[in-house]
Amino acid sequence: MDEKLGKFIDDFADLVQLAQEGRHQRQAGTQLLDTLTEHLGVAAADLAMVEEQIPFHRFVDADIVLAELAALDPDNRLVGIGGGGQRHHASLSDMVQQSQLFPQFPLSQPDYVNLAVGPDTQRQAVGFGLRLLTFDGGRIAVLQRAADPRSGRQTASLEVVAAVPETGTAFLAEYGRRMDSQSVLKGQVISLVMGEFGPSSGGVTFHHRPLLEATEVILPAGLLQKVADHTVGIARHRESLRAHGQHLKRGVLLYGPPGTGKTHTVRYLLGQSTGATAVLLSGGSLARISEAARMARALQPSIVVLEDCDLIAEDRSFGHGPQPLLFEVLDAMDGLDNDADVAFVLTTNRPDLLERALAQRPGRVDLAVEIPLPALHERVALLRLYARQAAFSTGALEAAAERTGGTTASFARELVRRAVVAAALANSPVGDAHLAKAVEELMADAESLTRSLLGSGS
């Protein structure tokens, strides 16, 4: 065969192959447009699309609701959309329009994300997928998309397109009703966290509900019961209070030196409020107070815990105006309906910083309780509580309590730990001598900083 003819045949074969590949790529690139048009029965490019935003922490709820709604149609389909990173920057409407000119969005497998639905459980949710289904007799398609802050999408979303607009409206209405009535967050203990890209990108962390007996919380007589009655007891009599026209919304302020047991008291309250949704905020996450208040209202009965509120008494860094963030906290409390079964529990080491703000927003906090430094008999009880697995004599415990006046519950716990560590280092059984030595060491002048870090004033 002539060399030139052979080269021509090879080049022609390559040209045919490239043409076939291009045709295949074009056909693949129009799959999204073709599939939507075939499913809806009308040209997808001619239809309006509606976007519904989903708060970051409720995306897993949305996934559950959408799966339920899709299951109503036994012939529903779930497909993914390819096209590389461009799909994350384009809306469904953009992808449909671009597919007419520059085919680049083939169908693929859906993307999934693992999301917590409890302290120890997760759900594999659809992170990027197109649901094709029939709802209320009409054809509809729903693009489910998780938030992707790195691509500029701060919130998750649904993008809905229907052959008949009324179908889309009915679908979103039913979706909204189900989202209002169910949530994996209801009855859970959760903390809100700040996201890398700001409050709006923050999620939730699930916690096991603490289980503490009243005997494990050492406070002055009657104090724990007083706090529990106001926080948890009112909820147990909600129907009677409502029948008599009394409000359920309530606020409790626990104040006192660090280490006296404020957080421990909160843990006891959480354990006593089985079935209630508990939302915990502290540090930077206090900026999410408005969101927490909305969640508490929707998931009541609820408890919202705001730890160390003195840290935000004059902090304007997260605010949207000249007022401190604390005022936003109080405004959020005021925004709840009176019959909302929501308790706010605030803790602070510096009540002096809060007093002026609370006075300017009266009625938000209706019970303020001091958690004081433990008295002598309470220090004995604390040492006995923390040393229940050690063989200290009653006399040794009482002597240690006598010598540690002005110290806190945290100090008592550390005292016992020091004694146990000393015994372990000496390779001997824990005894009274180790407790006495721990008292000597911690009460020495050289340990004043340690005592301060443990919250003690001595």
- pLDDT over 80 (residue 206): yes
CB atoms inside a 10 Å sphere around CB 297: 17
6-15, 283-292, 355-364: which range is least confident on average? Answer: 6-15
User: Alpha-carbon dihedral of residues 411, 414, 420, 425, nearest 10 degrees?
Assistant: -120
Residues 82 and 97: beta-carbon distance below 8 Å: no
Please give the pLDDT value at position 250: 84
Are both 189-370 and 376-453 of the same fold? no
The 10s digit of each residue's pLDDT in 371-396 is 999 999 999 999 999 999 998 999 99
Full-prediction pTM beyond 0.85? no
Residues 303 and 269: beta-carbon distance below 8 Å: yes
Residues 142 and 159: beta-carbon distance below 8 Å: yes
Report how far apart, in Å, the C-alpha atoms of 233 and of each of 87, 237, 247, 280, 407 are. Answer: 52, 7, 14, 20, 31
Please give the pLDDT value at position 180: 87
- pLDDT over 60 (residue 245): yes
Nearest C-alpha neighbor of 329 from the set 265, 264, 281 = 281
Q: What integer best gives the mean pLDDT of the chain?
A: 84
**E strands within 299-383?**
302-307, 342-348, 367-370
The 10s digit of each residue's pLDDT in 24-34 is 344 455 889 99
Task: Report the share of the chain in percent with pLDDT over 90.
Answer: 54
CB atoms inside a 10 Å sphere around CB 393: 11
Q: Per-domain residue ranges for the chain?
A: 8-181, 189-370, 376-453
How confident is the model over 245-261, as a mean pLDDT? 84
Please give the pLDDT value at position 35: 93
More confident residue, 153 or 196: 153
Q: Provide the 8-state DSSP code for 118.
A: S
Task: Report the share of the chain in percent with pLDDT over 70.
Answer: 80
Report how far apart, in Å, the C-alpha atoms of 294 and of each of 56, 110, 138, 297 are. Answer: 14, 32, 34, 5
Phi-psi bin for 39: left (phi > 0), alpha (psi -120 to 50), beta? alpha
- pLDDT over 50 (residue 125): yes
Please give the pLDDT value at position 19: 41
- pLDDT over 90 (residue 458): no
| String of DSSP letters for 211-275 | ---GGGS--STTHHHHHHIIIIIHHHTHHHHHHTT----EEEEEE-STTSSHHHHHHHHHHH-TT
How confident is the model over 116-124, as a mean pLDDT? 94
The 10s digit of each residue's pLDDT in 329-374 is 777 776 666 677 889 999 998 888 777 767 666 667 888 999 999 9
Nearest C-alpha neighbor of 412 from the set 443, 371, 391 = 443
Please give the pLDDT value at position 155: 84
Question: The domain 189-370: what is its CATH number?
Answer: 3.40.50.300
Please give the pLDDT value at position 21: 40
Q: Which fold has domain 376-453?
A: Helicase, Ruva Protein; domain 3 (1.10.8)
Nearest C-alpha neighbor of 456 from the set 393, 382, 347, 369 = 382
Q: Which two tokens stand for residue 84?
A: 């590389």
Please give the pLDDT value at position 313: 64
Q: Rounded to whole angstroms, how far apart are CA atoms 444 and 447?
A: 5
Please give the pLDDT value at position 55: 85
Report how far apart, in Å, the C-alpha atoms of 117 and of each of 57, 133, 203 are. Answer: 10, 26, 12
Q: Give 201: exposed, middle or buried? Use CB within 10 Å, 0-12, 13-18, 19+.
A: middle
Q: Rounded to whole angstroms, how far apart are CA atoms 86 and 108?
A: 14
Please give the pLDDT value at position 284: 78
